[in-house]
Amino acid sequence: MIRALPSIALGGLAVLLAACGTPPPTGDLTGEASVTLDPATQQARWRTPGYVPASSGVSGEGIHTIRFAAVVGDAPFRCGASYGGIGVTGSTILPTDFRFFVSEVALIDEAGRQVPMNLAQDGRWQHQNVALLDFEDGQGPCAGGTPDLRQSVTGAVPYGRYRGIAFTLGVPAPLNVGAPALPASPLNDPNLAWPAPGGFRFLKLDMATSGQPLGSYGVVPSTVPAPLPAYPGTFAYPVIPAYPTVTGPVGALPYGFPVHIGGAECTGYGPGPYTPPGCGFPTRLRVTLPEFDTDRNVVVADLRALLVTSNVDVNTPGTPAGCQSTYGDPDCAGVAAMLGLAMPGGYTPPQSVFRVGVQP
């Protein structure tokens, strides 16, 4: 029923460095730059395209491919593109990474039953019942990522008529443990894992914003201010001042405004702003799209919707950069609400980030 399909500017941001190397956003207040999650060979292995066997272990009968797309409002997500009118301040953002895990994928039959999909074990993007979706291409401001894209999930279900889909945003608890030492990809990328006590970033969005510029280690080059392009239908945005020319190394500049959803499987930590990420913070979301034509539709992940009630230009003092699934961090409230994640003491609306789109 579903067919594999072809893949669906702060471009003048003065604070963006030429190499655009992003220091790893911190999940605590001391930083992660000195934390070794895995040997260097682990990252090298991840960056090397894996061998996909001719036989993936899934029968050719009943194979389906579910297509995903990342957008910012009506505009496709693209490394190097900037998007205006974001959040409560109408900020302009420059995304530098966007990836997320899905698991427990199912098709919904005509009786409303969720029929689990047996994922193809392709040796790279899918392991057991977990799949990684990757929308960055390792180019330009996304230079810290990987060159390969992944915008689909493939697996098999029994023959039948299906009218919807469901999936979980995140990694199941049995696999969401420790550092990324598993030999199976995609659970071996240290950029998607937290430091001790471990666990994965289920959704990883990194970006520079008008108020939270992207930082880097090393020398800050001289830059020329440039007007930020307006998003269609919005007013033009002001010029962002340039950093001055410097001649020597400088310390770490701001991390931008990262949004990292997910965390450790832990119950022994009390509530508080300094608990490990994900402890006491809701991080898994079950997404159900009951009306989904598998021949014509695509699952759309909308970053504008994710950030619509957030102030991405200001980070609450004394908290990690952006929203990093830290209990008690006010910067996570809007993101959690849009994802439909229940926050203590607050009303949780239905998720509005994932929706049904039409395949081009």
Q: What is the pLDDT of residues 281-307, one digit of tens each?
A: 889 999 999 999 878 999 999 999 999
| pLDDT of the residue at 274 | 61
| pLDDT of the residue at 273 | 58
Q: Which long-range contacts (CB under 8 A, 24 or more apart) does 218-226 make?
A: 218/17, 218/19, 218/21, 218/249, 218/250, 219/246, 219/247, 219/248, 219/249, 219/250, 220/17, 220/246, 220/250, 220/253, 221/17, 221/18, 221/245, 223/14, 223/15, 224/14, 225/14, 226/12, 226/13, 226/14
pLDDT confidence bin for 223, thresholds 50/70/90: very low
pTM as predicted: 0.76
Smallest CA-to-CA distance from 28 within 335, 334, 343, 326 is with 326
Contact 328, 274 (CB under 8 A): no
| pLDDT of the residue at 251 | 36
| pLDDT of the residue at 297 | 95
Give φ, ψ of 173 to 5 degrees.
-55, -45
pLDDT digits (tens, 9 = 90+) for 155-167: 999 988 899 999 9
Between the alpha carbon of residue 138 and those of residues 106, 261, 316, the distances in Å are 30, 21, 30
| pLDDT of the residue at 294 | 78
Looking only at the bridges linking them, the beta strands covering 63-72 and 152-156 are: antiparallel
Give φ, ψ of 66 to 5 degrees.
-100, 125
Contact 195, 32 (CB under 8 A): yes
Looking only at the bridges linking them, the beta strands covering 83-86 and 162-169 are: unpaired
| pLDDT of the residue at 248 | 32
| pLDDT of the residue at 318 | 87
Lowest mean pLDDT among 5-9, 180-184, 243-247, 265-269: 243-247
Instruction: Calculate the average pLDDT of the chain.
Output: 75
| pLDDT of the residue at 233 | 28
| pLDDT of the residue at 63 | 85
Amino acid at 284: R
pLDDT confidence bin for 76, thresholds 50/70/90: very high
Strands, E assignment, the chain: 63-72, 75-76, 83-86, 91-109, 114-116, 118-119, 126-127, 130-134, 152-156, 162-169, 203-209, 259-261, 285-289, 297-302, 354-358
pLDDT confidence bin for 322, thresholds 50/70/90: very high
- Concatenating the DSSP letter of every residue in 7-19 gives ----TT-TT--SS
How far apart are alpha carbons 187 and 183 in whole angstroms? 8
Eight-state DSSP code of residue 240:
P
| pLDDT of the residue at 307 | 98
pLDDT digits (tens, 9 = 90+) for 249-274: 333 345 799 999 998 888 766 665 56
Between the alpha carbon of residue 305 and those of residues 14, 86, 171, 257, 327, the distances in Å are 26, 9, 23, 16, 22
| pLDDT of the residue at 116 | 95
pLDDT digits (tens, 9 = 90+) for 190-213: 889 988 778 899 999 999 999 998
Answer whether residue 169 shows pLDDT above 80: yes
Smallest CA-to-CA distance from 151 within 6, 303, 38 is with 6
Residue 317, preceding peptide bond in cis (omega within 30° of 0): no
Classified as helix, coil or strand, 174 is helix
| pLDDT of the residue at 56 | 55
Lowest mean pLDDT among 42-46, 106-110, 175-179: 42-46
Between the alpha carbon of residue 330 and those of residues 87, 102, 274, 278, 321, the distances in Å are 15, 26, 13, 14, 11
| pLDDT of the residue at 289 | 97
Average pLDDT of the residues in 78-86: 95
Sign of CA dihedral 74, 232, 258, 220: positive
pLDDT digits (tens, 9 = 90+) for 323-347: 999 888 899 999 999 999 976 666 6
| pLDDT of the residue at 72 | 97
| pLDDT of the residue at 221 | 32
